[in-house]
With several copies, the nearest count.
Chain A
Amino acid sequence: MSLARGVSLVGAGMTRFHHRIHQDKSGRELFNEAAEKAIESVDGGIDRRDLQAVFVGYFTPEAYEHQGHIGAQVTDWLGLCPVSGWRTESACASSAYAFLTGVLAIASGLYDVVLVGGVEKMTELSTEQVTDALSMAACDDYELPPGATFPGLYALLAQAYFKKYGATWEQLQAVPIKSHHNGSLNSNAQFQEEIIDIGNRWGARRGLSFKDNMEVLKSTLNRMVAYPLRLFDCCPISDGAATAILAADDVAKKYTDTPIKIKGVSATTDNLAIHDRTSLTSLRATVEAGKRAFSMAGMKPKDVDVADVHDCFTIAEILAIEDLGFFKRGEGIRAVEEGITSLKGDIPINTDGGLKCKGHPAGATGVGMIHEIWKQLRGEAGKRQISNAEIGLLHNVGGDGASCVVSIFSR
């Protein structure tokens, strides 16, 4: 499969993701903020009237803002009516589908330049209410009545993985330790501190002090969420928005001399309820989407210089790097422990701090990941820059793996 017309990224912009600083803003106001940054990011400048359509990912605006009709809400507030716009939803991958819709819309010939993005305004609700909203990504008929939650579903996968490969929760902690290091270098991240620093800051109030990351993670500060997953195994609740500007290859040069080309895109689904899946230690949606995206790009996992993968929970990052073919089955955890996925490793993963530290405003996450790939491939990632990054990969998952988008970008 190939596209009838090539598509490139010519701009990207995001708000910082955060649990507190955006409390006075609504979803559309956050989306506007991100869109203005994307517009400003275009090297050669862009007239907002050049944007012919807007595609927006937002997972559950009904729960958070009592609002639907998100496409029109956003084009209106951006001053872009009557251009077309609509919402895409696929749980935590909602904005990757907005991106994909943008790619299809341009490749189809209907539009030349579009704005894609996503937003989620989550922090008005209590943790239990957010747990409830997020649980709509799972199967309401068969998974929710027994009491499964989102962390709980990934905990089920973690336990199955530990059992199959003899891995442990302690080993898994290599993931948040890396994420917090990367997040400390990202001014858009929700958490910009190493775990040890957070631990000692929180601990100070209770007369506790810690020697290293692992001591914090094993302490009572790291409270249990869904056994065996604790607080630092989980991404936070966040407000935020992220956007990108896509253009047909044939018009992209009007906006920049260095467009980021979209070499492969793929989307897949899997059974909604995890008990119906073929495996509890691999997400088939990722495996299939990865294969197809690599095939379309004519590339292999080893060609990738930097990847943003969906790490809503620690175990998710391990499954992702195995399912995408970066590591063999059962070897993902050790790869993280050994630093192969660190900023200095062979295949840096989640250089932005991942969902764990950058934050996870569900609908904004996919395009937030694209924002990082954009920065890395343009050499604008500052202290966390991967040298000579030419090929970047996006991997965004809906729920606990019932939908997935993989896309490959090239400088």
Chain B
Amino acid sequence: MSKEIFTAKTFFDNLKEKRLMGSKCKECNALFVPSRPVCLQCGSTNLEWIESKGEGSLETFTVIHVPPVSLLTKAPYVVGIVRLDEGVSIMGRIIDVDPTEPEKIELGMRVKVVVIEENEKTVLAFKPFTTRST
């Protein structure tokens, strides 16, 4: 069994190339995004890479008014947790919404992945989108 190396670096190297990568347990099929090296379901270390489609719905959000030092000029901005269509949740910046009108940001709305480069970091973000037909 040749084990994959599920490091944060590999995750972000992929994200930079616009691939949102997770790992899937070969024993019990549990899925993790971001990728992680040990299955939370069954404890197996036998996992494989999978790529998420990067679409999902907004599970919860907040608007940050008091930011850390590195984001002083960005506030207010929106951060949320997105439930991906594959069934797992992930945190990201939420863009293309109005942070000054949080009442108008709807929980459950459809969002998809956008990748931002900021302060020399690759940042996972999501923006609202409309599916053509559902």
Contact = CB atoms under 8 A, between A and B. Distances in A.
> Do the two chains belong together in a single complex?
yes
Interface of A: 24-26, 29, 32, 36, 47-49, 77-79, 81, 127-129, 131-132, 135, 141-149, 151-152, 155-157, 159-160, 163, 223-229, 271, 273-276, 280
A367 to B, nearest CB: 20
A146 B36 contact: no
Contacts, number: 133
B66 A79 contact: no
25 contacts: A25-B7, A25-B9, A26-B8, A26-B9, A29-B37, A48-B38, A77-B37, A79-B38, A79-B40, A79-B43, A127-B66, A131-B67, A132-B70, A142-B34, A144-B68, A146-B92, A147-B77, A149-B64, A149-B68, A151-B66, A156-B61, A159-B60, A160-B60, A276-B40, A280-B59
Contacts of B7: 24-26, 29
Contacts of A228: 62, 102
A266 B14 CA distance: 40
B43 A156 contact: no
Interface residues of B, number: 47
Nearest to B10: A24
B7 to A, nearest CB: 5
A79 B46 CA distance: 13
B63 A32 contact: no
A316 to B, nearest CB: 14
B72 interface: yes
A141 B10 CA distance: 12
A77 B45 CA distance: 11
Nearest to B126: A146
A147 B59 contact: no
Contacts of A129: 69
A32 B39 CA distance: 13
A236 to B, nearest CB: 13
B114 to A, nearest CB: 11
Contacts of B123: 145-147
Given A47-B43, A145-B118, A227-B102, 10 more contacts: A128-B72, A131-B67, A145-B121, A145-B124, A146-B91, A147-B74, A147-B77, A163-B107, A224-B76, A225-B65
A225 B34 CA distance: 28
B93 A146 contact: yes
Contacts of B102: 227-228
**4 A-B pairs with least C-beta separation:** A155-B62, A79-B38, A227-B63, A160-B60
Interface string B75-87: 0110111000000
B66 A147 contact: no
Nearest to B125: A146
B71 interface: yes
A357 B43 CA distance: 35
B69 A226 contact: no
A29 B3 CA distance: 14
